[in-house]
Structure 1
Amino acid sequence: MKTAWYLGHKANDVGSCAILVGDPDRIERIGSLLEDPVYLPVKRGLKTVTGTYNRTRISVAAFGMGAPIATIVMHELADLGLQRFVRIGTAMHFPPARPGGFVISQSALSFEGTSQSYALSDAPPVADASLVANLQTAVSRNDAESTTGVFATFDAFYRDMFALDPAGGAKVTQTRQMLHDRGVLATDMETSALLTAGEALGVACATLCLGTVDGISQEKLAAEPLALGEKLMFSIALDAITMKEDLK
C-alpha cells in the first residue's frame, strides 16, 4: 500500500473526502466534532485527523500557509483516493461581503505561481458546482449569511494583500483598486491553486472562508466574532462535504 511522501499517510488512514485548513491548531478543534477521531502521526508539522461525521468517514488536514504546500497536501490525498475537498479558513473580503460573513468560491483569479504547473487552459479555474451548492445550503441551514463569487489568490501577503511597511503601501493600494475593478469578492493565498489542481486531478474542490479583514479599510474582525465564526465555519464545512443528495 502506497504511503504519501510528505503526509506519511496510507489510504486506510484517511476518509473519502477532506477539509483542508491552514492553521494546524484547528485540527483538534474540528476533531472534537467528529465521531471516533484518530489523530494521525505528524510529519513536517502537517497535522491530520480522521473520523466520522454524518455517517461519512472524513479527514481534516492542515497545510500551514500558501499555495505550494496546500496543493501538495491535496495532491497527496487525491493520490490516496479522496475525491472531494473543501478548503476553509479566513479571507480578506470586498463588498458585497460583510465582516464576519462567509465567502464561497465560484471561481478564482491566479496571482500565484503554483497554478502554472497544473493549469489545463488559460481560463480561470472554477469551483465544483455541487460543493458550492452544498456550502450555500449548509450556510442557510446554520442561519448564517454568505456571498458567492470570485476569489483572487496571491503569494506575497505583505506586498499584495496587506501593507506591513511603507514600501508595500503603494503596491497594495494599486492591487486593491484592481481587485475592486474586477469584481473580486475575497483574497487568500490558496484557492486558485487548489481549484486549478483539482481540475487537473479530476477531484471536486471549493473554498469556504470567514471574512475577517475588510479589503477597503483593512480593519480586522474582533476576536469574539472571529472565534464564533470559526466554530460555525467548521459545522458548515462538515455539513456540506458530507451532505447526501436525498437530504438537500
Structure 2
Amino acid sequence: MFKIISTDLVGQGLYFAMDMKLAHYLKVPPQTCFVAQGVATILGALTQVGVTLWMLGHIAGICESGQPSGFTCPNGRTIYSASVIWGLVGPRRASSSLFRRQNLLPVVTFLLDRRFNSPRDLPTLSGTANVPPATGINYSSWALVIYIFNHFIKQRYFAWWTKYNYVLAAALDTGLALSGIVIFFCISYPGAHFPKWWGNTVYLNTADAEGVAYMAVPSIGHFGPPNGTWS
C-alpha cells in the first residue's frame, strides 16, 4: 500500500507538471489548467473505481491468465512483482554491493549532462521505466510516429508542424481512448472474435505473455557461484 501511494503521488505530480508545461505552450492560463486537472482527477477516480467494481462482479475469470477476453490484470502483476523485488527481497539483497554504488548514478548522469549539454536523449531513455507491463509493439509504434513527425516533417515542413503537431498529439490520445471504449463494448464484451494475424498475435509467443522466466534455475538451485565461494 505504501508503494502504491508513494509512486502514484510522484507519478501524478509529474503528469500535472507535464500538463502545465503543455498548457503554457498553448497559452492556456495556469488557473484554468489546474481546475481542469482537478475536475478530471475527481471524475477519473470515481469512474475508475466504479468500473473496477463492476468488472470484478460481472466478468468471469477476471485477472486469471486464461481469461477469454484478455482481462489478465497485467498492471496488477507488475505491482505485485515490484513489491516482491523491492519489498520482500529488498534492494540490498537484489543488488548486493551495487546497492551503495548505484546511488552515485544520478550524480554521474547530472555531471555528464552539464559537461556535454545534450539532455535531449535523457527523456527518451527514461521512458523505458514505463515499459512493464507493455510490450515492444507498444513502444515501437509511437517511436515510428515520433520519428516521422518530430524529425522528418519538422525539418521539411516546419510551419505545418508548428501548427498541427500538438493538435495531432491530442487527437491521437483522444482517438485511442474512444477506440478502447468502442472495441470493448462492440467486440470484447459481447465475446466477438477479432480477426487474427501476425501483428496482433506475435506477442503471445513471448516469455512475458506465457509468464515464464527467460532462464531456468540450474539444478544447484540458484544462479552464480556455489554457496560458500562468494568473496
TM-score, normalised relative to structure 1: 0.26
Which is higher, the Rg of structure 1 or of structure 2? 2
Normalized per residue, the structure richer in helix is 2
Normalized per residue, the structure richer in strand is 1
TM-score, normalised relative to structure 2: 0.27
Which structure has more RCO (C-alpha within 8 Å, separation ≥ 6)? 1
